[in-house]
Structure 1
Amino acid sequence: MLQPLFAFILLLGLGQLAAAEKAGELPPGVKVLRDVEYSRPAGHPLLLDLYLPEKRTSKPLPVILWVHGGGWKNGSKDRCPATWLVPEGYAVASINYRLIPDHQWPAQMHDCRAAVRWLRAYAGTYGLHAGRIGAWGSSAGGHLVALMGTVDTSADERVQAVIDWFGPSDLLTMPPNVLSDNRTREDLAQANGALLLGGIVMDQPEKARAASALHHVSSNDAPFLIMHGTADEQVPVDQSQRLHDRLLAARVPSTLHLIPGAGHGGKEFSSPQVRQLILTFLDRHLKSPPVQSGRPKKGEPFNPKKPVSPRLQPVEN
């Protein structure tokens, strides 16, 4: 009897937190450090908001990096939907990154990696665990965090877990990038994918594959939790299904959770049941495993005692 009762109480608490966040309130016991500069590529300041417990904990906190959506064109770090994780024993960093059309690929990836490096460089200052960083994003942000979990990079830029909400995993097969009876080359040139890559996506397949997580999957990738609504009309469900299948084929831990009737986001993604899935996933991969020594592979814990890449400044783009 105790286990079902505990689950009910937890879900009730998560539901109350969701209601408070919808009203624009921070969860109880949470503070925010706003507009912290984490990088300045070509003189362009990039800011993050850092959500922490009001009282500093005795042990370093695992960190969740939230990457917003908006078609790589809109959106901001404001109204971060991940703040409910702070009372559950996490720190949360919500970032701005450079947007199209002013900034083309790979500026967005450079910014996400710069944020991870900043979190590690300042882990001691803010009570963060440098070896336990997860990345969570929606839509365009899901596209970016999926790449963070699959593209090989230096140890100081790797993440240990990924939550991908309905992100495009293969730019070549996204409908706005595919020529059809209803879509002309003029239409393709105006698609967000074309603005991201600097030209029609189908005309530059190598660049498109390089910017697609599906084509980077390997056995050393970080664990994934992928969520997608079955009624999503902007990013087809098969973008998540194919990525999930390829991760499993590479023996990477991956969970695909389809939400019946949900579209491209919406209230269904903040239900107590969804939050419990997220919390279980993060606790398993960011709280349970011990930090390992030596140079980690992708998805393995970062060793804070090992020297990291000196590249603490983002790549100019």
Structure 2
Amino acid sequence: MNETFLKISYALGFLDLVDTEPSVPEGIQEFKNIEYKKVDSLSLQLDIYKPRDLKSPAPVLIFIHGGAWRSGQRSDYLPYLIDYANKGYVTATISYRLVKDAPYPAAVQDVNCAIRWIMKHGSDYGMDVTKMALVGGSAGAHLALLVGYGGDMELFSDHCSLDSASADIKAIVDLYGPTDFTTSYARESYQVKDFLNASFEENPDIYKAASPRTYISPDVPPTLIFQGTIDGLVPVSQSDSLAVWLSNAGVPHEYHRLKGWPHTMDLAVKVNEYCQYYMDRFFEKYLVH
């Protein structure tokens, strides 16, 4: 059960869904199609949203879209981008290479490069780049966790000509993201196999290297987790395990395990409002103060 389930529930009158194509309000300034990297003829771009009345540099929320590493677009997070710009943050959303363009670790390298672009140029857009958080859903959450936990690994850097220090990510929001590719779920997933360009039997090491859990230590950023218990794409066990590993490592975290909700559950207004309520408090704790 996934986005289709939610849309059927909406059609039957059971749920209100988030408007996924909201208009940008007058009070928000939009900067679109900013190129942060070029790979051959492929231009990788990001969009930025900031309050027009911003008086001083604001914390930064970087959104990473999902789509099983094979689809999706950076505009998918427009509702969150506008909502959080309205709350006083500067928000950004990034594109990265999909499987059709290049397999792992290309997407991870792109996200890392986008973050470093923001670190270098963010002050031009009112960003306080000492206060950055990553937010991702599904495959985007996987990339957020991988970069947030293991971003300094040489494997995840492609030296994208941005002279910048290591990214100091203060917090991560993980919306139903996969966390361990060595489990049976990932070994049997054609999406994971396509992303890694290998089966587990062919290259078990790459399955471990591409798993956020591999890089968990007491020093990784505080993490906020949201997961539905009937997610048919990313098993709830992936988030259950992440919460345990973070606890064992002494990493500050919160885990919201939403009973009876599927993948992409935050398309439902009820869940989206719930998630934003706890995201607001999480950002207040780890970014604002």
| Residue aligning to 1:245 | 244
Counterpart residue type for residue 214 of structure 2: H
> Residues 226 and 275 of structure 2 are in contact (CA less than 8 Å); yes or no, is this contact kept in structure 1?
no
Distance 1:170 1:255, change over 3 A: same
Instruction: Identify which range, 24-33 or 131-140, moves more after superposition.
Output: 24-33
Pairing 1:257–2:253 present: no
In structure 1, how many angstroms separate the alpha carbons of the residues matched to 2:174 and 2:240? 12
Distance 1:278 1:148, change over 3 A: same
Find 2:175's aligned residue among 162, 165, 180.
Answer: 165
Q: Quote how far apart the aligned CAs of 1:152 are.
A: 4.9
> Residues 168 and 174 of structure 1 are in contact (CA less than 8 Å); yes or no, is this contact kept in structure 2?
no
Q: Quote how far apart the aligned CAs of 1:248 are.
A: 1.3
Q: Indicate the SS of the match to 1:156.
A: coil
Q: Aligned ranges for residues 1-317 of structure 1 at < 5 Å? A: 21-22=19-20, 24-27=22-25, 29-55=27-53, 57-80=54-77, 81-83=79-81, 84-153=83-152, 155-175=165-185, 177-178=187-188, 191-266=190-265, 267=268, 270-288=271-289
Report percent identity of matched pairs.
29
In structure 2, how many angstroms separate the alpha carbons of the residues matched to 1:269 and 1:112? 30
In structure 1, how many angstroms separate the alpha carbons of the residues matched to 2:232 and 2:271? 19
Query: 1:280-306: per-residue Cα shift (whole Å, max 9, x none)?
Result: 001111111xxxxxxxxxxxxxxxxxx
Instruction: Identify which range, 91-100 or 147-156, moves more after superposition.
Output: 147-156
Q: Quote how far apart the aligned CAs of 1:93 are.
A: 0.5
- Rg comparison, structure with higher value: 1
Query: 1:42-76: per-residue Cα shift (whole Å, max 9, x none)?
Result: 34210111111122x22211111110000000000
Counterpart residue type for residue 110 of structure 1: Q
Query: 1:127-181: per-residue Cα shift (whole Å, max 9, x none)?
Result: 1011111100000001000112211518433411100111110112152523xxx
TM-score (norm 2): 0.84
Query: 1:250-296: per-residue Cα shift (whole Å, max 9, x none)?
Result: 111111101121100131674322211011001111111xxxxxxxx
Q: Which runs of 4+ in 1 moved over 4 A?
A: 18-23
In structure 2, how many angstroms separate the alpha carbons of the residues matched to 1:157 and 1:133? 9
| Residue aligning to 1:298 | none
In structure 2, how many angstroms separate the alpha carbons of the residues matched to 1:36 and 1:208? 32
Q: Quote how far apart the aligned CAs of 1:79 are.
A: 3.4
Counterpart residue type for residue 166 of structure 1: Y
> Residues 20 and 76 of structure 2 are in contact (CA less than 8 Å); yes or no, is this contact kept in structure 1?
no
In structure 1, how many angstroms separate the alpha carbons of the residues matched to 2:26 and 2:223? 29
Counterpart residue type for residue 207 of structure 1: I
Distance 1:231 1:45, change over 3 A: same
Counterpart residue type for residue 109 of structure 2: H
> Residues 27 and 52 of structure 2 are in contact (CA less than 8 Å); yes or no, is this contact kept in structure 1?
yes
TM-score (norm 1): 0.77
> Residues 51 and 86 of structure 2 are in contact (CA less than 8 Å); yes or no, is this contact kept in structure 1?
yes
In structure 1, how many angstroms separate the alpha carbons of the residues matched to 2:253 and 2:26? 32
